[in-house]
Amino acid sequence: MLSKKTKYGIKALSYLAKRTDKSPVQAAEIARSENISPKFLESILLNLRKSGFLGSKKGKGGGYYLIKDPKEIQMTTVIRVLEGPIAMIPCVSLNYYEKCEDCPDELTCSVHKLMIEVRDSTLKVLGENTLADLS
């Protein structure tokens, strides 16, 4: 399950991607428009700025803006930053790999192979979609 943090983050990015002009948008405006708790969204936007998705401007007329072209932002990278691993289990994660304590051998694990299949199909969908595709 996607956390609200991730969902809100995607909605905020998508909100910015839809705008034609690239002037800064205040966090409060996004929060209002997308029905997100303002303070919670603030922390998410901060996170997205530190991760290199957003730029920001302080003071009056300030706000957040997209740094890259929405077409260049794959959903895989967005979700990895906000949510963490895309795989359903750490032992098949490409970016957040972790060995299972209970498995002596991954190759004979009945769950492992299945989860690789799931991971790859999910990666395909998320890799083919960019921020620009969220309409």
Partner DNA sequence: TATAAACCTATCGGTTTAGTAGGTTATTGA
Partner DNA sequence: TCAATAACCTACTAAACCGATAGGTTTATA
In sequence order, which ranges of 53-128 are alpha helices (DSSP H)? Answer: 75-82, 110-128
Pick from DNA, a second copy, none: which does 104 bind, CB < 5 to 8 A by kind? Answer: a second copy
Q: Residue 91 corresponds to which amino acid?
A: C
129 binds a second copy (CB under 8 A): yes
105 binds a second copy (CB under 8 A): no
Task: Calculate ∠ Cα 90-132-86, nearest 5°.
Answer: 5
How far CA 17 is from CA of 88, 100, 117, in Å, comes to: 29, 39, 31
**Out of 51, 56, 74, 122, the residue judged to bind DNA by CB under 7 A:** 56
89 binds a second copy (CB under 8 A): yes
Q: How far is the CB of 128 from DNA (least distance, A)?
A: 25
Q: Looking at 20-28, 42-50, 52-60, 98-106, which segment touches a second copy (CB under 8 A)?
A: 98-106
43 binds DNA (CB under 7 A): yes
Provide the token pair at 22. 């690239």
Determine the Cα–Cα distance for residues 131 and 119; give it in Å rounded to an integer.
Answer: 20
Binding site for DNA (CB under 7 A): 3-5, 8, 24-28, 36-40, 42-43, 45-46, 49-50, 56-64
